[in-house]
Amino acid sequence: MAGGTGDRPKLVVIGGGIAGSYIAKTLQFHANLTLIDPKEYLEIPWASLRGMVEPSFAERSLIQHKDYLIASRLIASNAVDIRDSEVLTSEGRLVPYDYLVIATGHGDLLPKARVERLKQYQAENEKIKAAQSILIVGGGPTGVELAGEIAVDFPEKKITLVHNGYRLLEFLGPKASKKALDWLISKHVEVKLDQIVNLEDVAEGNKVYKTSSGEIIKADCHFLCTGKPLGSSWLKNTILRDSLDDAGSLVVDEYMREMKQGHLAKKQASTAAKNLKLLMSGGNESKMLAYKVRSTTKAIVSLGRHDAVAQFHLTTMIGLIPGLIKSKDLFVGKTRKELDIDSFIRH
């Protein structure tokens, strides 16, 4: 969305996740840039589960926006409406724009301050440490990775994973699912497929859970690892209401005009930033780059600190080799380097 005049155009980025942060970092010297995000920090999403078993890890995976945005403005608030040339925040503030990027990702309810998020990680860790038995509901990447993290760091815990599908990691092929299942079983994780647990029927403090097949599971605590809602629902009441698909995602063209959510956020952000830089400098739209998925890797799901299961274009593998790619550092060092973050945390 474009318009306006002036030497430096006004660029507003809504959403401080991976995509929004990368765009803001890249374009902060090419525009009068404002980042609108309800948090004062970027949370590297694929590193969050490691923070639950090792809270100190979150010290590196939670990055203050101010540590990489040195030539822009941060508004720690929710965007609630979009107008032809302004964004309205939840505090009633109107933020003008010539160009607008929407990169709201998923609707996670996280605290505003980084220190409060660190306290949450510490509380989750204490919850895990205090439990002898743990129930994980959901067998997608979040549930499988959390089970792997706990099983490796706390092998004495009894872990039960309940998934409503007929196999784990259903977004991957059957071979990857079977390898992940076998790995979890080898770590003494009990996996129950084709079942659900209705947590709404469980009273607070109750340690007995019942599955849809009538099985009884005793656990000291549980973690819900099912899908998260998109963070774009608020757009239904804005001028972009007709740009949403049936699932509520913002529709984009091949040039990433209007930002898309997804696991390829860095690549999408790179394409969007290059095209915005071209347009803001007066370049011709015909020279814009089209977004293409070039990687042949479908996914890598970490399994604790050393192993992972990976599905590539021609093969599926599990163990130390894919683990070396992701599991040790979970790409945190790479992300910090790309954002030019110093090796120490600034407060």
Which fold is adopted by the domain 10-113+229-293? FAD/NAD(P)-binding domain (3.50.50)
Per-residue pLDDT tens digits for 121-165: 999 999 999 999 999 999 999 999 999 999 999 999 999 999 999
Residue 343 has pLDDT above 50, yes or no: no
Report the percent of the chain where pLDDT is more than 70: 88
Task: Please list, in sequence order, all residues whose beta carbon lies within 8 angstroms of the beta carbon of residue 50, skipping any fewer than 6 positions away.
Answer: 57, 61, 149, 330
Residue 96 has pLDDT above 90, yes or no: yes
Average pLDDT of every residue of the chain:
87
Within this chain, domains 10-113+229-293 and 131-228+297-327 share the same CATH topology: yes
What is the homologous superfamily of the domain 131-228+297-327 according to CATH?
FAD/NAD(P)-binding domain (3.50.50.60)
Residue 7 has pLDDT above 60, yes or no: yes
Q: Which helix (H) or strand (E) segment is 256 a member of?
A: none
Per-residue pLDDT tens digits for 47-84: 999 999 999 999 999 999 999 999 999 999 999 999 99
Q: Indicate the domain borders of the chain.
A: 10-113+229-293, 131-228+297-327
Q: Is the dihedral of CA 81, 83, 85, 91 positive or negative?
A: negative
Distance, in Å, from the CA atom of 143 to the CA atom of 161, rounded to the nearest integer, reads: 8
Among all chains, which residue has been given the structure tokens 């019942």? 210
Residue 344 has pLDDT above 80, yes or no: no
pTM as predicted: 0.85
Distance, in Å, from the CA atom of 132 to the CA atom of 136, rounded to the nearest integer, reads: 13
